[in-house]
Structure 1
Amino acid sequence: MQDKLTLMIPGPTPVPETVLRAIGRHPIGHRSGEFQAIVRRTTDQLKWLHQTNGDVLVITGSGTAAMEAGIINTLSRGDKVLCGDNGKFGERWVKVAQAFGLDVEVIKAEWGQPLDPDAFRTALEADSAKAIKAVILTHSETSTGVINDLKTISSHVKAHGTALTLADCVTSLGATDVPMDAWGIDVIASGSQKGYMMPPGLSFVAISDRAWQAYERSDLPKFYLDLGPYRKTAAKDSNPFTPSVNLYFGLEAALEMMQAEGLEAIFTRHARHRAAAQAAMKAIGMPLFAAEGYGSPAITAVAPDGIDAEQLRKAVKTKFDILLAGGQDHLKGKVFRIGHLGFVCDRDVITAVAAIEATLQSLGLHRGTMGSGVAAATAALA
């Protein structure tokens, strides 16, 4: 059946009809008073979502643009940074930092394992010269379904006194608690196609006062991603360049929906869906890839022993028009990932689990009792 695709991937995520209708409005002038009013309202909403009194700036670009902006606006060539790497996106930030001439010390963990906060603490405490200028890490590592302990790592950075915390919260913001001011995070990057329940195209950079002080010293090249002009124009409810006007319409609608639900309810919903997905996969004998206790609330990675994960994923797509995410790099064919991020409800999770079970049955690969996954998911949701 055409036009029935269900997205159960970590992005893009499903978009509510309310948001789609808002995006479908006729554009307005981006220098008009009407648009400035939208910028003003969404700025306040973004501060609410980030739990910050600081600046939250909007860039027409991807989450990678937001993360690169955070790096190039707070650091200078040759600065020493610690970069956490336990997945595809941790690897990406290492490459970005190296591309801009930073002195990168990598703190690694195996894919599927969380970053060790004590490794950061040890490195920071040994830095008596205060040479480390930033710690860069991914909160929810989308490639592996692992959530890192950002709160503890950020506390070690604060104790250092000089370094900044730059966090990729692309698949954690809007899915789990990330209180920027309370945790002392200096830069948070996120993207519209994740917990914001929107199509791709907008990215968001939240900046602390300490990060703005670092901005004054930064000498890395920047133009479109220079956050100074964004801050200056945001104070006037505007943007330094032509923004995606229609995505702003959607942003306001999405944030209104999120405010109506409330932060605690949003976080609880994502935690329930994580619990349901995990319980279901365990019930049908499908091992989880992320270390126990470190599963992301946005996505559950599954490592089906002895089963071609790509074959299973493609069969689910063909039979049920449900799109699951595959494994990346060396995990291709070994892992599939169930997204439960953003505009996802209990029905979506149960449907995805049932489709996986039915596909395993049709392929002769179901190793448990048929329906055990759905039963486990239902029990977890209850």
Structure 2
Amino acid sequence: MSSKLLLTPGPTNIPERYLEIFGKDIIHHRTPEFRKYMKENNEYLKKIFKTKNDVAVITSSGTGVMEAAVVNFFSKGDKVLAINTGYFGDRFRKIGEIYGLDVINLQYEFGESYELSDVKKVISENPDLKGILMTHSETSVGILNDVKAVGDLTKNTDIILAVDTISGLVVNDFDFDGWGVDVAIAGSQKAFLIPPGLAFVAISDKAEKAMEKSDLPKYYFDLKQYKKYFDDNNETPYTPAIALVLALNASLKDLVNKGIENIISEKRNLRKYIEEKAQKLGFKLLVKTEENRTNTLISIYREDIVIKSIISALEEKGYTVTGGKGKYAQSLMRIGILGEISKEQIDDFFVIFEEEVKKQLGK
């Protein structure tokens, strides 16, 4: 196993049982064997997204499918709302603007979730609104945004709700069909515990109709091609990351067998455990309200220490954690818990963490 514990919001340490798959020879992607994996993966992904519809598998990073979530469902000049609660919400805004959408940017302070009344106001004042772009788990701050509340506003309208749940899926509650989501995206290097390189897109019936009308340019990310190839032959239109598709199969089996509810509960308990330990060390939690804290990572800060030097010291001792972004670049530490991490490992981490804090405070 790795000598470093990745306490990051992804990628995670890769369990030994998946690493073994990468040591095997490759298979061809136009064979019955590969098609069997694709078909099985689709059935598992439907269970994880909680949707009756197929889930496209694309060889890409998460940002690639953020772009796919924009270019496949809208047309030039379409008005969309970006619910912007951090770095990745802002990325959705940027992608929309680059493709010539008319983006209403609803921006909030770092550490704050969105206000539903603001979203209702935008919808009521913009009868020509075509879409809402939002982040489920905003990893730059550790916010969990309420997707269901927005879905309740859009589900009986023509507004397309596109949700980035790249770091949110599996470890936080998510219900694609039940919440009225139209497009949802996720990535392999997060709670799926395999390397970066695969991304997933769930599409509602409503979004599928919108795909037919979209005039934005696309080639590699044209989801109609992925749908056609999968419908016709359980294949991908272009060469996929074959080894990742095989590792994903093992990962999905494990996730479904363990039970998503059990994983969510386990992560919630681990998050709370870390929050308590951090507060005992004099750190504050960036996200003040419990229901807005993601189980993906814990954002903590303390003004009287330089967090960057502590992060460097932890890295040297075998623990990778991440700092903050934007105005919290100096003071924030983000402790990711997407991987297979035990309380014992967290205890060991906090022993080193406390030593480094004391060193800095001169104690």
Distance 1:265 1:184 in 2: 24
For 2:351 and 2:69, the matched residues in 1 are separated by 41
Amino acid at match of 1:304: R
Corresponding residue for residue 46 of structure 2: 47
Residue 97 of structure 2 is matched in structure 1 by 98
Structure 1 residues 4-15: aligned runs within 5 Å: 4-15=3-14
1:305 alignment counterpart: 303
Query: For this pair of structures, how many residues does the alignment match?
Result: 361
Distance 1:163 1:200 in 2: 31
Which whole-Å CA distance do the structure 2 matches of 1:365 and 1:20 have between them? 42
How far does residue 172 in structure 1 lie from its aligned partner after superposition?
Answer: 0.5
Q: Distance in 1 between matches of 2:296 and 2:346?
A: 12
State yes or no: 1:61 paired with 2:60: yes
Structure 1 SS opposite 2:266: helix
SS of 1:107's partner is: strand
Q: Does the 8 A contact of 2:2 with 2:13 survive in 1?
A: no
Aligned partner of 1:278: which letter?
A: E
Moved more, 82-91 or 117-126: 117-126
Task: Give the structure 1 partner of residue 262 of structure 2.
Answer: 265
1:177-196 map, 5 Å: 177-196=173-192
SS at match of 1:354: helix
> Contact 1:287/1:305 (CA < 8 Å) preserved in 2?
no
Distance in 2 (alpha carbons) for counterparts of 1:122 and 1:344: 42
Q: Does the residue aligned with 2:284 lie in a helix, a strand or coil? A: coil
Partner of 1:148: 145
Structure 1 residue 203 and structure 2 residue 199: aligned?
Answer: yes
Task: Kindly indicate whether the alpha-carbon contact (under 8 Å) linking 1:74 and 1:217 is maintained by their aligned counterparts in 2.
Answer: yes
Distance 1:264 1:230 in 2: 30
What is residue 352 of structure 1 aligned with on the other side?
349
Which residue does 2:358 correspond to in 1? 361
> Matched residues in 2 for 1:240 and 1:281: separation?
47
1:340 alignment counterpart = 337
CA RMSD across the alignment: 1.4
State the match for 2:242 in structure 1.
245
**Superposition deviation, residue 364 in structure 1:** 3.5
Counterpart of 2:166 in structure 1: which amino acid?
A: V
Residue 154 of structure 1 deviates from its aligned partner by: 1.7
**SS, match of residue 25 in structure 1:** coil
TM superposition shift of 1:3: 4.8
Deviation at 1:150, TM superposition (A): 1.1
Indicate if the aligned counterparts of 1:12 and 1:194 stay in contact, CA closer than 8 A. Answer: yes
Work out whether residues 114 and 148 of structure 1, in 8 Å CA contact, stay in contact via their aligned partners in 2: yes
Give the aligned partner of residue 83 of structure 1: 82
- Tell me the equivalent position of 1:374: none
Label 1:169 to 1:3 Cα distance change in 2 as closer, same or farther (>3 A).
closer
- Which amino acid in 1 is paired with 2:116? P
Distance in 1, matches of 2:166 and 2:345, equals: 22
Question: Structure 1 pair 352/153, CA: closer, same or farther in 2 (3 Å)?
Answer: farther
Aligned-partner Cα distance in 1 for 2:25–2:86: 41
1:330 aligns with 327
- Secondary structure (helix, strand or coil) at the match of 2:361 reads coil
What is the one-letter code of the residue matched to 1:218? Answer: S
Q: Normalized against structure 2, the TM-score is what?
A: 0.96
2:211 is aligned to: 215
- Displacement after TM superposition at 1:362 (Å): 3.3
- The C-alpha deviation readout for 1:236-292, integer Å capped at 9, x for no partner, is 210000001000111011111111210110110111111111111111110111232
User: What is the aligned-residue identity percentage?
Assistant: 32
2:160 is aligned with 1:167: no
C-alpha deviation, 1:350, in angstroms:
2.5
* CA deviation string 1:169-193 (max 9, x = no partner): 0110011111100001000011110
Looking at structure 1, the residues matched to 106 and 192 of structure 2 have their Cα atoms a distance apart, in angstroms, of: 30
SS class of match (1:54): coil
Equivalent residue, structure 2, for 1:275: 272
Matched, 1:126 2:125: yes
1:86-118 Cα shifts (integer Å, max 9, x gaps) = 111011111000000000001111011111122
- Please give the alpha-carbon distance, in whole angstroms, between the structure 1 residues aligned to 2:342 and 2:206: 38
Gaps of 5+ in 2: none
Counterpart residue number, 2:227: 231
Q: Which moved more, 1:284-293 or 1:197-206?
A: 284-293
Alpha-carbon shift at residue 365 of structure 1 (Å): 5.8
Corresponding letter in the other structure for 2:33:
E
Q: Determine if the alignment matches structure 1 residue 254 to structure 2 residue 251.
A: yes
| Offset at residue 345 of structure 1 (A) | 2.7
Contact 2:49-2:175 at 8 Å conserved across structures? yes
Q: Structure 1 length as normaliser, TM-score? A: 0.92
Q: Residue 303 of structure 1 contacts residue 336 of structure 1 at CA under 8 Å; is this kept in 2?
A: yes
Q: Aligned to 1:363, what secondary structure does the other structure show?
A: helix
Secondary structure in 2 matching 1:118: helix
Counterpart in the other structure of 2:294: 296
Unmatched segments (≥5 aa) in structure 1: 367-382
Alpha-carbon contact 2:80-2:104 (below 8 Å) kept: yes
Q: Work out the CA distance in 2 between the residues paired with 1:68 and 1:105.
A: 17
Paired with 2:123 and 2:160, the residues of 1 have a C-alpha distance of 11
Bigger Cα displacement from structure 2, 262-271 vs 349-358: 349-358
